Amino acid sequence: MTTAPAPAAVDKRGTQSPWRMYYRRNGRALNAFLTFMLVWGFFAFNNPTLFLIPGYYNAFLFSVPATIIMTTALVFVIVSGELDLAFPSVMGAAGGLFMTLVISGVPILPAAALTMLGGAALGAAIGAIVVYGKISSLVATLGLNFFIVGIVNLLAQGKNIESRESVATFGYAFFTGRWEVFGLQVPNHFLIAVAWTVLCYVLFKYHRFGIRVQMVGDNPDSARQMGINIDRIRVGVFVWSGLAAALCGVILVQTANMVWFPTSGKAYLLIALAALFVGGTPTWGGVGTIWGAFFGALTVTLIPSGAVGAGFAGFWTDFIFGLVIILTMVAHRFGGARVR
Amino acid sequence: MAADDLAPGAPIVELRNIVKRFGSVEALSGVSLTVRKGEVLGLLGDNGAGKSTLVKTLAGVHDPDEGEIIVKGRRVSPWTPLAARNAGIETVFQDRALAPQHSIVTNIFMGREITNALGLIRVQRQIDEANRLMREIGFTSKVFNPESTVGHLSGGERQGVAIARALYNNADVIVLDEPTTALSLTETQKVFRFVNAVKESGRTVVFIGHNIYHVWDIADRFFVIDRGRTAFEGEKAAFTGADHLIEMMHQLAETGRADTASLRRTA
């Protein structure tokens, strides 16, 4: 019996459409963008006249930058598999350091640069305690947050630091100057936040550091076996977080007319984390999205003022806040479950 | 990175009197292993004999507590995964060491990204190189491309990614830790063809396996480890056949020593 040669096997499975591929890769960021548009659309639908006035967004653009900067930096921490709960204390400490430098005569821009260096150093110290002390970052940073706030309180003796005379300087204008665009006042610190987001995006997606952060978070054993110094990467994410917190601290002081309060930064803990998760970065590490975090920050900042603008009484705010967080978590499941 | 200055058969990696302890357990108690240029060395041993520890030591994952590691005549210390890779030793780990949520190309360049002076990834260059590598080892499909997510691939395809990564950079020594475990028959054949291709290019392979017949078919020389010590080693020609090797390993398992007098003398 002779057998005919078997025909060459043909794989008939089709290739995926480019649209589908694009959604597979960027679904989380797209979902975060859609969430923002839906929340805005819902508010605008309830009160179109108010939400179509450009000037309505002045306060929004004024208050959103710190959340954007902190959230985009926290993406690195969460993606690496760590958690940073100490950043509010770094914000507060950085603001205090900045004002101390300013009232001792350092001009605003050099003082801001020094403060950011200080924030990075504080971040490095926090990272070193977590990584080399081999402590869970949840517990370590929770404790360090109280500890650093405590030290700041002791140093400040509960007093504010003010320097109202530096409001007229160039450095102040650099951070808080405004540009009038079609009736909308765009403050410089919003532009700084956008530039920071672009920087984070490039660092996360196209720089060796960002790629290695993703490798360490995805599978630390693999990363180590392939020669990546995972301890150094983990300390690095805390340095980045400290740097961002210091920049936020500087901006918070400036937007408060050069007044620093010892409680500065405290309010951002839950807001930044909510923005991060609404923004589509999952809790399990390895993957995340910078632009998602950006839109997440816009969403959580819009909700409190937007709800009131849409005609809801103030006591609705928390309810809407919670609803949006829960619904986006469900929506992100469609952006992809964890692959192993 | 290629060791063109070494003659075939010359020692390329030497582990001397390696001791490695984990807490109170001594996993390796003075193992000496020489890997020679151009050979396929089969590494054998029972479960718990210290095989994995020895492989991970070779790969730089474990820095030995005692003993020294000499690569191309030079002592390397400290011995880390990066030091091993820089010395020209690439390892395909038993667990593949992949990042499943990321693309094939990101995995191939894990820890060894192609960047410009600022550390920015040269994306297109990496994709081109990954494409070339995948074609080289016959690892192509229209279902996936270099940007497909590794977590969506089959076991054999994941193995292909790990092998492609080990091949990049023309490493002198490629260590394959249990590469045929959980692979289908055709995939196992692919791995064998790949080992032969690497050998023909004058490079060195260290092959670790459970299946003695697999190792017998592929290796030129055998190194057997038992209870953290070197039990015996020998050229393929020193054995009368695979059954001889298996017989000696049985003896070793039962009595703690093998009859090395039965080995033929080789030149």
**Domains defined for chain A, CATH in brackets:** 56-326 (1.10.3470)
- Please answer yes or no on whether A208 and B119 come within 8 Å at the CB atom: yes
* pLDDT classification of A3: cutoffs 50, 70, 90: low
Q: Which of A226-230, A251-255, B195-199 has the lowest mean pLDDT?
A: B195-199
Our measurement of the distance from residue A279's CA atom to the centroid of its chain's CA atoms, rounded to an integer in Å, reads: 9
Which one has a higher pLDDT value, A235 or A11?
A: A235
- Please answer yes or no on whether B97 and A287 come within 8 Å at the CB atom: no
From the list A143, A145, A127, the residue with the least C-alpha distance to A91 is: A145
Contact A36, A293 (CB under 8 A): no
**Is pLDDT above 80 for B247?**
yes
Average pLDDT for residues B49-67, to the nearest whole number?
Answer: 92
**Is pLDDT above 50 for B222?**
yes
pLDDT for B2: 47
Q: Of all residues in chain B, what percent are helix, strand and coil, respectively (each to 5)? A: 35, 25, 40
pLDDT digits (tens, 9 = 90+) for A32-67: 999 999 999 999 999 998 998 888 899 999 999 999
- Please answer yes or no on whether B98 and A202 come within 8 Å at the CB atom: no
pLDDT digits (tens, 9 = 90+) for B106-130: 999 999 999 999 999 999 999 999 9
Percent of residues, chain B, with pLDDT higher than 70: 96
Q: Which two tokens stand for residue A11?
A: 């794989």
pLDDT digits (tens, 9 = 90+) for B186-215: 888 888 888 888 888 888 999 998 888 888
* pLDDT classification of A180: cutoffs 50, 70, 90: confident
**pTM of the full structure:** 0.91
pLDDT for A151: 94
Chain B contact present for A218, CB below 8 A: yes
Q: Which two tokens stand for residue A76?
A: 């690195």
Asked whether the bond before B81 is cis by omega within 30 degrees of 0, the reply is no
Contact A61, A185 (CB under 8 A): yes
Integer Cα distance of B89 and B71 in angstroms = 9
Asked whether the bond before B64 is cis by omega within 30 degrees of 0, the reply is no
Chain B residues closer than 8 Å to A221 by CB: 95, 97
pLDDT for A108: 92
pLDDT for A234: 97
Q: Which of A236-250, B23-37, B230-244 has the highest mean pLDDT?
A: A236-250
A 285-314 residues with CB < 8 A to B:
286-287
Integer Cα distance of A204 and A194 in angstroms = 15
Q: Which two tokens stand for residue B94?
A: 């038993």
Please give the helix or strand (H or E) that residue B224 lies within, else none: strand B221-226
Task: Among A213, A218, A228, pick the best mutation site for testing chain B contact (most B Cβ within 10 A).
Answer: A218
**Is pLDDT above 50 for B1?**
no
**Which residue from B97, B120, B123 is facing A225, i.e. has the nearest CB?**
B97
pLDDT digits (tens, 9 = 90+) for A285-295: 999 999 999 99
Average pLDDT for residues B172-179, to the nearest whole number?
Answer: 91
Q: Is A177 helix (H, G, I), strand (E, B) or coil?
A: coil
**Is pLDDT above 50 for A150?**
yes
pLDDT for B3: 47
pLDDT digits (tens, 9 = 90+) for A84-123: 999 999 999 999 999 999 999 899 999 999 999 999 999 9
Contact B114, B126 (CB under 8 A): yes
Contact A139, A84 (CB under 8 A): no
- Please answer yes or no on whether B100 and A228 come within 8 Å at the CB atom: no
**Which residue from A13, A208, A338 is facing B143, i.e. has the nearest CB?**
A13
From the list A61, A105, A71, A62, the residue with the least C-alpha distance to A91 is: A71
On average, the pLDDT of chain B sits at: 88
Q: Which two tokens stand for residue A150?
A: 């405590």
* Alpha carbon separation from A163 to A160, A258, B9 (Å, rounded): 10, 6, 76
Percent of residues, chain A, with pLDDT higher than 90: 68
Chain B residues closer than 8 Å to A219 by CB: 97-100
pLDDT digits (tens, 9 = 90+) for B124-166: 999 999 998 888 777 767 677 888 899 988 888 888 899 889 9
Of all residues in chain A, the one with the smallest CA distance to B85 is: A227
Contact A36, A295 (CB under 8 A): yes
pLDDT for B116: 95
Chain B residues closer than 8 Å to A202 by CB: 120
**What domains are there in chain B, each with its CATH number?**
11-262 (3.40.50.300)
Q: Which of A54-58, A73-77, A203-207, B255-259 has the lowest mean pLDDT?
A: B255-259
pLDDT digits (tens, 9 = 90+) for B225-237: 988 888 888 888 8
Task: Among B80, B92, B101, B109, pick the best mutation site for testing chain A contact (most A Cβ within 10 A).
Answer: B101
Q: Which residue shows structure tokens 């969430």? A: A35
* Phi, psi of B256, deg, nearest 5: 85, -5
* pLDDT classification of A12: cutoffs 50, 70, 90: low
Average pLDDT for residues A231-256, to the nearest whole number?
Answer: 96
Integer Cα distance of B62 and A66 in angstroms = 44
